[in-house]
Amino acid sequence: MSGEKVSTEYANSIIFDLQKAFWDERGKGARFRVTNVGRAYFLDKCLAQIKSNALDEVAGTIGRILQEEGIVDQVDHEQEEQLLRLRVGGCMHHSVEMRMLEHGVEPFTCIPANLMALAIEDKLKRQVELTEVSISNGTCEVLLVVFEKRPGE
């Protein structure tokens, strides 16, 4: 290639095809196999910028990075005990989720949510599980469960 960037449409079509093939092979079990998607990006672009060990600040930092990188227009988060609710607007991957719905598959992964989970697991040493992705008015609503630290950690 001559240094030109790949179009978002092309990249999202490939992401869709991979996700759909994985869904066809694993069904709902695919959700638990894609949680590390984005790890290399997280390590390269995000980890060094996280300066806090407070969940709210970690989430805010990841949201800011996603906006600065042009991946999303906005990420709002709200914590309620062990639940972390994300509202992701203007995501460059939104078309993938819409195509999944068109094929009768509920969205089962969210790359911005994966980056959030990776940050929480790395910085706070707490396990995270993505339990739900839904779309409302063009915004993805994601529910993460943030587990307590294991004793001795």
Q: Which residue(s) pair with 133 in the sheet?
A: 142
User: 32: pLDDT confidence band, cut at 50, 70 and 90?
Assistant: confident
Is the model's pLDDT at 1 over the cut of 80?
Answer: no
**CATH class belonging to 8-146:** alpha beta
The number of C-alpha atoms within 13 Å of 92 and in the hemisphere containing its C-beta is: 16
Domain boundaries, the chain: 8-146
Q: 98 to each of 16, 88, 126, how far by Cα in Å?
A: 10, 14, 31
pTM over the 0.85 mark: yes
**Using alpha carbons only, what angle is made at residue 52 by residues 47 and 53, rounded to the nearest 5 degrees?**
100
DSSP state, residue 99: H
pLDDT digits (tens, 9 = 90+) for 65-109: 999 999 999 999 999 999 999 999 999 999 999 999 999 998 889
User: 153: pLDDT confidence band, cut at 50, 70 and 90?
Assistant: low
Look-up of token digits 């600065």 = 68
Show Cβ contacts of residue 131 under 8 Å, excluding neighbours closer than 6 positions.
143, 144, 145
The C-alpha atoms of residue 48 and residue 61 are separated, in whole angstroms, by 11
